[in-house]
Amino acid sequence: MKKNILIGIVICILLSTNSIFTYAEDDSLEQFRDAVNKAWVQRDYEEIQQLIQNRLNNHPNDVLALGVKMYYYVFCSRDLSKARETGDEFFDAVRKSGNSDMIQLSSMMRDEIYSIPLSESKPYTQEQIDVIHNEFNKSFPLIERFYSMATTILSR
Amino acid sequence: MEGEWCNLTPVTYILKGKTDYTIHTLPKIEEDLKPMILIFKHCSFLETSCDTTCNIPLDLSRYRVKVEQRGCLLKELYKKDEWNNAYYIILKDYSPDKDSDLKVDAPFYSEEFHHLHLNTSVQESFGFENVELAYQVQLSSNKAATGSINISGPIALNNPQEFILGKTDLANPCTDKEAKALTIFYKDVIDDNFEIQPFDVQLTFIPEGFKEITWTRHKGPDSGILTNADQAVATFSNPEEGGLYQFDVIADNIPETHTRTNLWLPVAGPDISYYWENEIDYFKNQWGPSYRKKLDRRTSVFTTQMTRAFMKHVFSLNDMKSLGPNLDWMGQVEGEYTPCGGPNIVGDLWRQTLYGVVIDFAKRNNMMYALIGREMGLSEFELMKAPNLPIIQFGTPDKEEQFESYRAGFDLFNGESLEEVMKKRGHKMQAPGSWSQKEWPSYEISYEGLERKAEKQLKELIR
């Protein structure tokens, strides 16, 4: 009887630990998203890059960080080769979730990156940068999409 | 008044819940045989003894029913359990002439010839508190919604539906959820091809035995056929239009028997196909091209082809993110007679008719959202999965009927007509058990429009 109770307590602790971990993950995702958005509005690309790097150091398969990194190479540093490379990593990370709709979506996003020829990898002009920031004046491009994909995967 | 004899001519009804009741007379000028009927429900005072002639625990002497000329009166007593243990005293072959007046002595009536006043104390002493309707007027149909109908309010027993004798000022089920009406849903009379199948409604006046019963239409759509209108049980067949049908009945031209009944075929708002076609035309031929033209300008600084295409796509996604939640067409178009249907509840709002199919607010909006999204250059996958995937971020998880409404929008984008789309997908857009399924399509056509909630945003996107 005592043994059963002990096992029950251990299970409860494990379950609650897991629950805390999930909430903590959500919180850190939100903090990361907010920090990226803040840096984006300030056009502080180095800060964005640092945030991505820090996030991936701790969470190598994080869908949010990989998605932001993929678009970072499209919208910020304009390195389409690295964008494609990250697109593959992003797709692999999503594929592990097993969610067919999300896999299809990530595949479409990756393919869209691939559709831009490497020859178009020239840095943006100031006018182009201004247009991009005018369109996305409050948050990093489509970051909510990546955030939601990440939280969906974590909640499974 | 106790012990005093008084003339009494045939009773036509006793109003439920009243402390007095009225005895109505048949015209004395008629020499024809008239039955006299007293009907009581749940009358405890009926249990005193048994009338051996009919084997009913009823002591007729308690009522002190007498006939001056016994040879003129035959008595029959009935008890019908299926009518809530109602006790019937049916006095046949009673001719109300001077020589054969029926006299009833009871302590609860006055000398007034036509009215017996039953005050509270007498009512209690005779256990008369549960006197209920004497005669019955019913509508019934094997297609009527069974059991009870919950219309976000009191639950009404539907089939058969009884109506109060002598009552003609009925509440309207279109506006009053407590109104009495036999209700028949559209979904219950159509076949797999959404064709209306023949069905009947029985209009019943109880009891039989009157010389002349007349059923008439009081109002309602010009549809269906009333037969046997001079019988106690008339039939109304094959209405093909929804709405409120009212039938009146009167027995032997006695004004107090004039009773009105409600047959309710809940009907959606008018057909607004004209307006919706104009909206489709506007978004396909004006708004869409204008949006794409402006998107060209917004991305004109990106001179390389694929980068520009990429930018157009993400800009459009960003536009839809803010536009999508507001892509609603608000309000309800009303006709002279329709809508006359179920309540507007969240998820089942403001139903109108499009090419003979009932469609609710959300599905109409979804359809137009899908069309507009395609005009903006977004893919079907992105648009259809948007509420369920973290793509554009709004809405709630969709069900098959919602997906069908997106497909309808894609069909419109691909050049199919609204009529074709509604024929193909209209019924599939109706959620099971929803009022969209229950309501009949409206036969009225309106050229009025709805209100674009996102009007300002839509204009900004093409300005």
pLDDT given at position A138: 94
Give B396's contacts in chain A (Cβ within 8 Å).
none
- pLDDT (tens place) for every residue of chain B, 463 residues total: 222 222 333 333 333 333 333 333 333 333 333 334 444 433 333 322 323 332 333 333 333 333 322 222 223 333 333 333 334 444 433 333 333 333 333 322 222 222 222 233 333 333 333 333 346 789 999 898 876 665 554 445 688 888 887 789 999 998 887 788 999 999 999 999 999 999 999 999 876 667 789 999 999 999 999 999 999 999 999 999 999 999 999 988 878 789 999 999 999 999 999 999 999 999 999 999 999 999 999 999 999 999 999 999 999 999 998 999 999 999 999 999 999 999 888 778 899 999 999 999 999 999 999 999 999 999 999 998 765 554 444 455 678 999 999 999 999 999 999 999 999 999 999 999 899 999 999 999 999 999 999 999 999 999 9
Burial class of B78 by CB neighbour count within 10 A (0 to 12, 13 to 18, 19+): middle
Instruction: Please tell me which of the candidates A115, A132, A144 has its beta carbon nearest to residue B393.
Output: A144
| Stretch 373-402 of chain B: residues touching chain A, C-beta under 8 Å | 379, 381-382, 385, 388-393
How many helices (H) and strands (E) are present in chain B, helices listed first? 11, 22
B315 CA: distance to closest CA in chain A (Å): 7
Token representation of residue B326 = 């507001």
Query: Which residue is closest to B299 within chain A, CA to CA?
Result: A131
Question: Are the Cβ atoms of A120 and B307 closer than 8 angstroms?
Answer: yes
Give B314's contacts in chain A (Cβ within 8 Å).
141-142
What whole-number distance in Å separates Cα of residue A63 and Cα of residue A45?
A: 20
% of chain A beyond a pLDDT of 90: 69
ipTM of the modeled complex: 0.85
pLDDT tens for A79-94 read: 999 999 999 999 999 9
Neighbours of B212 (CB within 10 A): 10
Q: Does the pLDDT at position A135 exceed 50?
A: yes
B311 CA: distance to closest CA in chain A (Å): 9
Return the CATH number of the domain spanning residue range A2-155: 1.25.40
B432 CA: distance to closest CA in chain A (Å): 25
CA angle in degrees (0–180, nearest 5) for B51-B57-B58: 60
pLDDT given at position B145: 83
Q: Whole-model pTM?
A: 0.75
Whether B419 and B294 have beta carbons less than 8 Å apart is answered as no
Question: Are the Cβ atoms of A136 and B391 closer than 8 angstroms?
Answer: no
pLDDT given at position B150: 56
Q: Is A34 on the interface with B (CB under 8 A)?
A: no
Q: Is A61 on the interface with B (CB under 8 A)?
A: no
Q: Which residues contact B275 (CB under 8 A, 6 or more apart)?
A: B333, B446, B447, B448, B449, B450
A11 CA: distance to closest CA in chain B (Å): 32
Q: Is A136 on the interface with B (CB under 8 A)?
A: yes
Whether B57 and B49 have beta carbons less than 8 Å apart is answered as yes
Neighbours of A139 (CB within 10 A): 17
pLDDT given at position B209: 60
Q: Does the pLDDT at position A66 exceed 70?
A: yes
Question: Are the Cβ atoms of A105 and B381 closer than 8 angstroms?
Answer: yes
The strands making up B243-251's β-sheet, listed across from edge to edge, are B182-183, B259-265, B243-251, B213-219
Q: Is A116 on the interface with B (CB under 8 A)?
A: yes
Instruction: Please tell me which of the candidates B301, B314, B393 has its beta carbon nearest to residue A128.
Output: B301
pLDDT given at position B387: 52
What whole-number distance in Å separates Cα of residue B190 and Cα of residue B160?
A: 21
Instruction: Please tell me which of the candidates B311, B315, B388 has its beta carbon nearest to residue A101.
Output: B388
Q: What are phi and psi of B457, to 5 degrees?
A: -65, -40
Q: Is A10 on the interface with B (CB under 8 A)?
A: no
Question: Are the Cβ atoms of B393 and A145 closer than 8 angstroms?
Answer: yes
Q: Is B460 on the interface with A (CB under 8 A)?
A: no
Report the amino acid identity of residue A88. Answer: D
Whether A16 and A144 have beta carbons less than 8 Å apart is answered as no
Q: Is B146 on the interface with A (CB under 8 A)?
A: no
Whether B269 and B245 have beta carbons less than 8 Å apart is answered as no
pLDDT given at position B149: 62
pLDDT given at position B366: 94
pLDDT band at A156 (very low <50, low <70, confident <90, very high): low
Neighbours of B53 (CB within 10 A): 10
Nearest to A71 by CA among B394, B393, B318, B380: B318
Mutate to test the interface with A, among B303, B305, B310 (most CBs of A within 10 A): B310
Select the highest-mean-pLDDT range: A17-21, A130-134, B19-23, B168-172. A130-134
Dihedral of alpha carbons B137, B141, B142, B145, sign? negative
Report the amino acid identity of residue B211. Answer: K
Q: Is B255 on the interface with A (CB under 8 A)?
A: no
pLDDT given at position B389: 52
Q: Does the pLDDT at position A137 exceed 70?
A: yes
Instruction: Please tell me which of the candidates A74, A127, A149 has its beta carbon nearest to residue B390.
Output: A149
| Stretch 309-368 of chain B: residues touching chain A, C-beta under 8 Å | 309-311, 313-315, 317-318, 321
Token representation of residue B241 = 């239009």
Domain ranges of chain A: 2-155
pLDDT band at A26 (very low <50, low <70, confident <90, very high): low
Question: Are the Cβ atoms of B306 and A120 closer than 8 angstroms?
Answer: yes
Q: Does the pLDDT at position A25 exceed 80?
A: no
Q: Is B150 on the interface with A (CB under 8 A)?
A: no
Q: Is A154 on the interface with B (CB under 8 A)?
A: no
pLDDT given at position B397: 67
Q: Is A13 on the interface with B (CB under 8 A)?
A: no
